[in-house]
């Protein structure tokens, strides 16, 4: 039953994705207007998150940022569907990596690397990173690019997520719970591991930072996993340049985790992500219940 449903839904998504991108933008904007304005989906959550993160914002600026966030979110939905059938050449025009030498240097010396980012720009297209335009090749491509993902509760949803993210065969998806085992098994191979670490951690996280004016617990994945195989950690900032165009800037956090004190990687990542959000407040995933558990509860 799941296989049949998957084939039907995948075929439907593929056919819809063949529509021009401007058509996707039009329909997704209508969908988001209905969801955010009429139904009110996560609008309260987004408003509270922005207001508390930017206490200097007056009400009208908070409201404006919320509206721009949902507009950006509608474009992410449109692009994520369109990209399913988009050509590799079309995908390459969407994202430009400003300083690929940060990764190519690590690749050329034979090391693996952890690439950690936040839900800014369009996070759904990161699995196509080898197609992004850049002055020089980053080196890590195909099976060498490992993107962590969270397994969906529904088998059907999980199959669809894996299919849409890997249809261009430019990355290997590994479930986040199995990533440590995968890294240890492949520690002698050079891989680029892509992680997102800006969501709510599971209870028990001991990493607490001051993030957007609040004490915030952080996911410990990049910190723990980088120390597991002692590989470099690089932060990637994906920012929206204009509609359908993004820019990635890479910042090395550390070359050798064993040389820095515990907590340094997490604090540096939080600081860089905070700077990214402050520079473009509407560009982050505000609808996520990031602070649903307090520090004491966690």
What would the pLDDT profile of 138-176 be if each residue is shown by its tens digit?
999 888 999 999 888 889 999 999 999 988 889 999 999
Which residues in the chain land under pLDDT 70?
1, 204, 293-298
Q: Residue 161 is inside which H or E element, if any?
A: helix 155-166
Whether residues 40 and 155 share a domain: the answer is no
Q: 155-161, long-range: CB within 8 Å, 24+ apart, which pairs?
A: 155/2, 156/2, 156/5, 156/6, 156/9, 159/2, 159/6, 160/6, 160/9, 160/10, 160/13
Count of the separate structural domains present in the chain: 2
In this structure, the answer to whether residues 110 and 25 fall within a common structural domain is no
Tell me, yes or no, whether 190 and 43 share the same domain. Answer: no
Task: Tell me, yes or no, whether 198 lies in a domain.
Answer: yes
Position 15 scores a pLDDT of 96
Q: Are 164 and 13 in contact (CB under 8 A)?
A: yes
Q: Are residues 137 and 240 in the same domain?
A: yes
Q: What's the CA gap between 142 and 144, in Å, rounded?
A: 5
Name the residue range of residue 33's domain. 19-84
User: Measured between alpha carbons, how far is 26 from 68 in angstroms, rounded to an integer?
Assistant: 15
Residues 120, 194: one domain? yes
Same domain, 212 and 256: yes
Same domain, 40 and 130: no
116 and 178 share a domain?
yes
Last residue of a domain, one of 65, 84, 103: 84
* pLDDT for res 252: 97
- 54/120 same-domain check: no
The predicted pLDDT at position 25 comes to 94
On whether residue 141 sits in a domain, the answer given is yes
Q: What predicted TM-score, i.e. pTM, was given to this entire model? A: 0.92
Q: Both 223 and 188 in a single domain?
A: yes
């Amino acid at each position: 039953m799941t296989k049949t449903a998957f084939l039907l839904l995948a075929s439907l998504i593929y056919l819809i994705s063949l529509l021009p991108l401007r058509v996707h933008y039009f329909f997704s904007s209508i969908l988001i207007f209905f969801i955010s304005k009429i139904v009110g989906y996560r609008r309260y959550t987004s408003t509270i998150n922005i207001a508390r993160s930017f206490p200097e914002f007056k009400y009208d600026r908070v409201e404006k940022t919320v509206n721009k966030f949902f507009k950006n979110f509608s474009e992410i939905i449109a692009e994520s569907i369109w990209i399913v059938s988009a050509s590799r050449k079309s995908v390459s025009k969407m994202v430009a990596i400003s300083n690929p030498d940060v990764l190519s240097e690590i690749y050329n010396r034979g090391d693996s690397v952890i690439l950690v980012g936040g839900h800014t720009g369009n996070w759904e297209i990161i699995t196509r990173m080898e197609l992004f335009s850049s002055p020089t090749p980053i080196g890590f491509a195909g099976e060498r690019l490992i993107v962590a993902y969270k397994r969906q509760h529904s088998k059907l949803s999980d199959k669809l997520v894996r299919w849409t993210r890997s249809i261009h065969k430019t990355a290997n998806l590994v479930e986040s719970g199995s990533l440590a085992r995968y890294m240890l098994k492949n520690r002698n191979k050079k891989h680029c591991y892509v992680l997102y670490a800006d969501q709510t951690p599971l209870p028990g996280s001991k990493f607490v930072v001051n993030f957007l004016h609040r004490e915030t617990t952080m996911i410990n994945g990049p910190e723990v996993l980088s120390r597991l195989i002692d590989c470099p950690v690089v932060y990637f900032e994906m920012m929206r340049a204009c509609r359908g165009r993004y820019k990635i800037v890479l910042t090395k956090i550390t070359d050798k985790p064993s040389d820095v004190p515990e907590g340094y990687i997490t604090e540096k990542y939080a600081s860089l992500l905070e700077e990214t959000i402050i520079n473009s407040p509407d560009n982050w995933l505000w609808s996520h219940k990031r602070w649903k558990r307090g520090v004491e509860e966690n």
